[in-house]
Chains A and B, each alone.
Chain A
Amino acid sequence: MSTPDSAGQHPGHVVAESAVPDGVIPETTLLGAATNPLRDPRDRRIPRVASPCVLVMFGVTGDLARKKLLPAIYDLANRGLLPPGFSLVGFARRDWEHEDFAQVTYQAVKQHARTPFRDTVWQQVSEGIRFVSGEFGDDEAFDRLAACVNQVNAERGAGGNYAFYLSIPPKSFPDVVRQLKRSGLSDPPGTGTSRPWRRVVIEKPFGHDLASAQELNSILDAVFPAHSVFRIDHYLGKETVQNILALRFANTLFEPIWNRSYVDHVQITMTEDIGIGGRAGYYDGIGAARDVIQNHLLQLLALTAMEEPLSFSADSLRAEKEKVLAAVRLPDDLATGTARGQYTAGWQGGIEVPGFLEEDGIAPDSRTETYAAIRLGVDSRRWAGVPFFLRTGKRLPRRMTEIALIFQRAPHLPFTTTDTEELGQNALVIRVQPDEGVTVRFGSKVPGSAMEVRDVNMDFAYGESFTESSPEAYERLLLDVLIGDPPLFPRQEEVELSWRILDPIEEFWAAHTKPEPYVAGTSGPPSADAMMAGRAWRRL
């Protein structure tokens, strides 16, 4: 496979197989990538390309499919990351032909794709598009789906690999999963390592409490092995979130201060300026905590607080995240350690907006919260005594997600108090969105004859530092599913641990409190400020 001269030049990198240390490639990785002589880890120009496969998508008529998933497929193709045999099969109730679905995809791509539209790329994508019409309960429709998938697989050389994207409400999971089993789609033919793969992709919510999460998992588990279930938390696909790991574990600068000796507290925030929009049906009864804290914010907490993983393999990463989530401690008094609110009518960004209770589809006596904040501790040597404040809400002043480490004040300041009046606490802020980047805040002398110290910022912005624009989170995650690279997908254990953290809070809220009103466009209810007890939330 290799030749004497290349062997002489690069001992240890003689052929592709030997260049990959044992165990680095997870078992789910496509076999071909490890044995393909044209692939070489040193050859970084050749991108990670998905293995040939058929992506079967349920719920293609939904908003997510139209705005994110279908455009992401085109963007991947445009970047040359989809293999020639890639095919997309849509399944929905609509009475569509293949061409109709292709047309819908075309519109979605035209409107929402990130990369420029090119006819040749579209032609490549559209040749692999198929559509099957039917109901989830209809055996005959799934038989047609199976026939269609198998046929397009044979025609286009998709290698027999199928991924199922369930972009549908969880209540339909049992039907669809049962049908996949019944129609034989979920069972790959053959045995051993040459067996084609099957993967199933699901979106949040992963249940609404521990029991329902376990139930959901048992439905999937009955048909798909744990390693082939990919739970999409689109936040984990964002470059900035992945950069938390690089920032912490590739540098020497931050790790020494990343602990209770220097950190005063941590704030993890995700806010939205919009209301619930058309999601009333889903949102009422779920609320901000289940919608955002359980998945996004606790994942961000885990990445921020976890210890260094042994490696960046999926197993090592998840092991560390699980340890942190298991070490999370709730406040002793849930009444003062948490806050919840509900927006009332007001002005948001110059527009008069209705209150939550006046939104279409919301019961006038709804006790669902649109703002949630909680204080958590992490029982470990690194974090003992350091509070982690998590907050999320709708109809707040602006849309923003960030992780802020607020450091302790210097133990002694050799200045007079007036000199340092404007000096706050040092902070390191990871801006997840918008303006992805990292800010470090520290004190600096104000120019002039007097010694006066004021806070300044040092900024790293993604847009300014790389000659490459960041891909959409869904692009990255879809590609990872098709490649079979699992580190960015939470495992069932993490989901369950998160519910164990949130369930007692939800129970307490249901039994004892009513959401406190806050005016739309303001930064949340007064109880959220009260729970900071001497500290303050960062300004939104």
Chain B
Amino acid sequence: MTIDLTETTTGAIHDALTQARHSMGGPALGMVLTLIIVTDESAQYDAIRAASQASREHPCRVLGVIMRNPSGRSRLDAEIRLGETGPGETVLLRMHGPLGEHADSVIVPLILPDTPVVTWWPGPAPEIPSADPLGALAQRRVTDAAASGKPRQMLTALASGYRPGDTDLSWTRATPWRSLLAATLDQPYATLQRGVVSAEQHNPSADLITTWLSGRLGIPVLREVSGGPGITEVRFVTADGDITLSRPDGRTATMARPGQGERRVSLLRRDTAELLTEELRRLDPDDVYAEALGRFAKNPVNEEAAV
């Protein structure tokens, strides 16, 4: 069911939610978390859809915050969606006028008690997420440098404003690669001399993998530009030959190492819902991300240059 409330207040939204729940025969219990999505009109559809997919099995309250024309009169419009995409509930909040500056005053009363709060900016995000009023409410703040237009500048800004609890989807995208790379070093290997990460030009995930590898391994790691899609290859140069993990097609990777046959392994690019699911899995600070990000800010990755 969809309930539209125009020129409304938080109290009225709250009452409408309770009443709708009641008429559907269940109280608003058993929700895992509150997810605040800060977005604009053009991106809200995809973001809300990804969120409802990520929370299909496990209900959460999604609060979509959409800023409208900042000049003019303050006004709050709400669109409540219940029982459409699963057991969770979604409230789209359109804030007009100066109210946009005080979005937290609308959000705070709608946050579920006793459960975690996550704020996600699917598009442009504040450079210091924890300083943003909606970021300050959350224990987990999810940005996406790849969606910011200037990924490297964004990473640098995020690094200087980093607070525990910050995380970025470009780091989430790197997980399957990092996992396989870690697996390659579970086997005995000759001394690593240097590494090379190849990816398309604007790929913050590749940049973070580069600094993560150089930090963990203590070897120079180059960042090369390739035609994509996404990350296409990571190569370790060792005394015995190269250990490579390459994925030219964005689907299946091939792993090769000295003296062994090639092995193929599934390495699909994941959609936003899957990324969000990974983000929501653990809500504790990600220290390893902080390290990779900090290293990036100190030594910005340049193509063809050693880090």
- Give the complex CA separation of A123 and B254 in angstroms: 12
Residue A538 lies at the interface, judged by CB distance under 8 Å to chain B: no
In the complex, per-residue mask of A75-107: 1 if CB is within 8 Å of any chain B CB, else 0 = 001101001110000000000000000000000
Residue B175 lies at the interface, judged by CB distance under 8 Å to chain A: yes
Q: Is the CB of B58 within 8 A of A80?
A: no
Residue A299 lies at the interface, judged by CB distance under 8 Å to chain B: no
Q: Could you tell me the distance in whole angstroms from the C-beta of B171 to the nearest C-beta in chain A?
A: 8
Residue B55 lies at the interface, judged by CB distance under 8 Å to chain A: yes
In the complex, per-residue mask of B236-256: 1 if CB is within 8 Å of any chain A CB, else 0 = 000000000000000110010
Q: A122 — nearest CB in chain B belongs to which residue?
A: B266
In the complex, per-residue mask of B185-204: 1 if CB is within 8 Å of any chain A CB, else 0 = 11110000000000000000
Q: Could you tell me the distance in whole angstroms from the C-beta of B87 to the nearest C-beta in chain A?
A: 8
- Give the complex CA separation of A137 and B251 in angstroms: 44
Q: Is the CB of A83 within 8 A of B294?
A: no
Given contacts A32-B185, A84-B183, A467-B280, contact A156 B287 (CB under 8 A): no
Q: Could you tell me the distance in whole angstroms from the C-beta of A123 to the nearest C-beta in chain B?
A: 6
Residue A413 lies at the interface, judged by CB distance under 8 Å to chain B: no
- Give the complex CA separation of A467 and B273 in angstroms: 12
- Give the complex CA separation of A466 and B288 in angstroms: 23
- Give the complex CA separation of A164 and B286 in angstroms: 38
Q: Is the interface of A mostly helix, strand, loop or mixed?
A: loop
B185 contacts across to A, CB distance below 8 A: 32, 36-38
Q: Is the CB of B277 within 8 A of A124?
A: no
B186 contacts across to A, CB distance below 8 A: 30, 32-33, 36, 49, 51-52, 83
Q: Is the CB of A157 within 8 A of B263?
A: yes
Contact of B217 among A10, A37, A78, A80 (CB under 8 A): A37
Q: Is the CB of B215 within 8 A of A3?
A: yes
In the complex, per-residue mask of B69-110: 1 if CB is within 8 Å of any chain A CB, else 0 = 000000000000000000000000000000000000000000
Q: B289 — nearest CB in chain A belongs to which residue?
A: A45
Q: Could you tell me the distance in whole angstroms from the C-beta of A477 to the nearest C-beta in chain B?
A: 21
Q: Is the CB of B58 within 8 A of A46?
A: no
Q: Could you tell me the distance in whole angstroms from the C-beta of B142 to the nearest C-beta in chain A?
A: 13
- Give the complex CA separation of A299 and B268 in angstroms: 40
Residue B42 lies at the interface, judged by CB distance under 8 Å to chain A: no
Contact of A156 among B216, B261, B268 (CB under 8 A): B261
Q: Is the CB of B58 within 8 A of A38?
A: no
Q: Is the CB of B178 within 8 A of A467?
A: no
Q: Could you tell me the distance in whole angstroms from the C-beta of A438 to the nearest C-beta in chain B?
A: 13
Residue A42 lies at the interface, judged by CB distance under 8 Å to chain B: yes
Q: B266 — nearest CB in chain A belongs to which residue?
A: A120
Q: Is the CB of A467 within 8 A of B55?
A: yes
Q: Could you tell me the distance in whole angstroms from the C-beta of A116 to the nearest C-beta in chain B?
A: 11
Of residues 7 through 30 on chain A, the ones whose CB sits less than 8 Å from some CB of chain B are 9-10, 13, 16, 30
Residue B128 lies at the interface, judged by CB distance under 8 Å to chain A: no
Q: Is the CB of A467 within 8 A of B32?
A: yes
Q: Is the CB of A84 within 8 A of B255?
A: yes
Q: Could you tell me the distance in whole angstroms from the C-beta of A108 to the nearest C-beta in chain B?
A: 18
Q: Is the CB of B263 within 8 A of A156?
A: yes
Q: A121 — nearest CB in chain B belongs to which residue?
A: B266
Q: Is the CB of B179 within 8 A of A47?
A: yes
Given contacts A38-B181, A51-B186, contact A118 B295 (CB under 8 A): no
B59 contacts across to A, CB distance below 8 A: 464
Q: Is the CB of A38 within 8 A of B217?
A: yes
Given contacts A38-B216, A38-B217, A469-B57, contact A46 B251 (CB under 8 A): no
Q: In this complex, which of B181, B185, B263, B278 has the most chain A Cβ atoms within 10 angstroms of its Cβ?
A: B263
- Give the complex CA separation of A144 and B286 in angstroms: 49
Q: Is the CB of B182 within 8 A of A36?
A: yes
- Give the complex CA separation of A399 and B303 in angstroms: 61
Residue A253 lies at the interface, judged by CB distance under 8 Å to chain B: no
B288 contacts across to A, CB distance below 8 A: 40, 42-43, 45
Residue B136 lies at the interface, judged by CB distance under 8 Å to chain A: no
Q: Is the CB of A463 within 8 A of B217?
A: no
Q: B261 — nearest CB in chain A belongs to which residue?
A: A155
Given contacts A37-B216, A120-B252, A466-B58, contact A6 B265 (CB under 8 A): no
Q: Could you tell me the distance in whole angstroms from the C-beta of A419 to the nearest C-beta in chain B?
A: 27
Residue A443 lies at the interface, judged by CB distance under 8 Å to chain B: no
Given contacts A9-B294, A40-B288, A118-B268, contact A468 B281 (CB under 8 A): yes
- Give the complex CA separation of A2 and B219 in angstroms: 9
B261 contacts across to A, CB distance below 8 A: 155-157
Residue B298 lies at the interface, judged by CB distance under 8 Å to chain A: yes
In the complex, per-residue mask of B163-175: 1 if CB is within 8 Å of any chain A CB, else 0 = 0000000001001
Q: Is the CB of A85 within 8 A of B217?
A: no
Q: Is the CB of B252 within 8 A of A80?
A: no
Residue A352 lies at the interface, judged by CB distance under 8 Å to chain B: no
Q: Is the CB of A2 within 8 A of B264?
A: no
Given contacts A6-B291, A33-B186, contact A84 B265 (CB under 8 A): yes
- Give the complex CA separation of A298 and B61 in angstroms: 41
Add 8 more A-B contacts to A1-B217, A46-B179, A464-B31 (CB < 8 A). Answer: A30-B186, A45-B179, A46-B178, A47-B179, A124-B252, A465-B30, A467-B277, A468-B281
